[in-house]
Structure 1
């Protein structure tokens, strides 16, 4: 049961920015990096990483955590760390000069699942095996759900 709850929280944390983009389009879409370009000529994160996405991810994940009878602080930590993992992935992709929305299997999933699970490891007594299984399950679910959301015209492209 706990594993399913944690997967739901990971899904909410990572899916909220996608739904926010679809529903709000360009409203409140201020880039998190403020358009900062580094010395390599690439943006810090890129225009698709928005303040709106991070804030809504944290708020929605905390709310869903409460609905699942999990402490809202754990939900907040999971969302924050998931967004940090996503920002890390974007930072690395920009340093590799990959275009916005470029897909890199593993880099697009592992940090945004691993970091939040490590953040709540002690609270939920997660073992390394638990974390590995949850990361793999997250990757599989993300690929499947990405294709469904693409067919529903919620995502711009499937993974």
Structure 2
């Protein structure tokens, strides 16, 4: 059982890395080109940038290069797709928050912690990576805890403007 949980951490490490690396970019060019949705609110907001996406994909794929040394070259591609899906999940979370009139940096418990996990999980399933239910639930728990802890640290280091 412990081995399965450790394998889950390795499998999801590209998504965790991608999700955690974007805030280090700072300001950039918004993916939504500063455009509003038909409801008058921004599509994603200033927090989703091309620069953040590029850094996320780069770091997530680098993790795939490391994993590939042990599990095969296909992990480079898997990690790239997983990282992209994690970021699409994160952007979906931002889109939902804007529709709910939650501003950038506003708290949405659950959505803030799990949007990238759901996106990356979908990619892993589509890529036929075997994920057991216990592994998925473990990753959700880890993501929830790590998101809260790392965001608090990032806030204290003045990388983020809010501790969530």
| TM-score with structure 2 setting the length | 0.85
Which structure: greater helix fraction? Answer: 2
Contact 1:7 1:138 in 2 (8 A): no
Give the RMSD, CA atoms, in angstroms: 1.7
Structure 1 stretch displaced more, 146-155 or 71-80: 146-155
Give the unaligned 5+ runs of structure 1: none
Structure 1 stretch displaced more, 104-113 or 147-156: 147-156
State whether structure 2 residue 9 is matched by structure 1 residue 4. yes
Number of corresponding residues: 153
Residues 108-155 of structure 1: CA distance to partner in whole angstroms, max 9, x if unpaired?
Answer: 122211220231135431122321221121111111111122222222
SS in 1 for 2:112: coil
What is the deviation of 1:7? 4.1
Counterpart for residue 104 of structure 1: 108
What is the correspondence of 1:112-151 to structure 2 with a 5 Å cutoff? Answer: 112-121=116-125, 123-151=128-156
Counterpart for residue 95 of structure 1: 99
Query: What is the alpha-carbon distance in structure 2 between the residues aligned to residue 152 and residue 96 of structure 1?
Result: 29
Query: What is the alpha-carbon distance in structure 1 between the residues aligned to residue 119 and residue 51 of structure 2?
Result: 21
Counterpart for residue 66 of structure 1: 65
Give the unaligned 5+ runs of structure 2: 1-5
